[in-house]
Amino acid sequence: MQDLLIAIFNGISIGSVLLMAALGLAIVFGLMGVINLAHGELIMLGAYTTFVVQNIFKSFGESLFSTYIFFAIPIAFIITALAGLALERGVIRFLYGRPLETLLATWGVSLILQQLVRSVSTTFVIGIVIFCLLFFGGLWVLRRRPNWDNIQRWAVSVLFLLSSGIAFDIGLIIGQRQKALSKPWFSARNVDVSAPPWLRGGLEVGTFQIPYARVFIIVLTIFCLIGIYWFFNKSNWGLRIRSVTQNRTMSACLGIPTDTVDALTFAIGSGLAGIAGCAITLLGSVGPNTGQNYIVDTFMVVVVGGVGNLLGTVIASFAIGVTSYLIGSGTLALLLTNMNAAPFFVDFFNFFATTSMAKVLVFVLIIAFLQVKPSGIFPQKGRTAEL
Q: What is the mean pLDDT of the chain?
A: 83
pLDDT at residue 386, as a whole number: 44
pLDDT tens, position by position, 165-221: 888 888 888 877 777 777 777 777 888 888 888 888 777 777 777 788 888 888 898
109-132 pLDDT, tens digit each: 888 888 888 888 788 888 888 888
Structural domains of the chain, with CATH: 1-118+189-372 (1.10.3470), 121-183 (no CATH)
User: Whole-angstrom Cα distance, residue 30 to residue 36?
Assistant: 11
Using the predicted structure, report yes or no on whether residue 242 has a pLDDT greater than 50.
yes
pTM: predicted TM-score of the whole model, two decimal places = 0.84
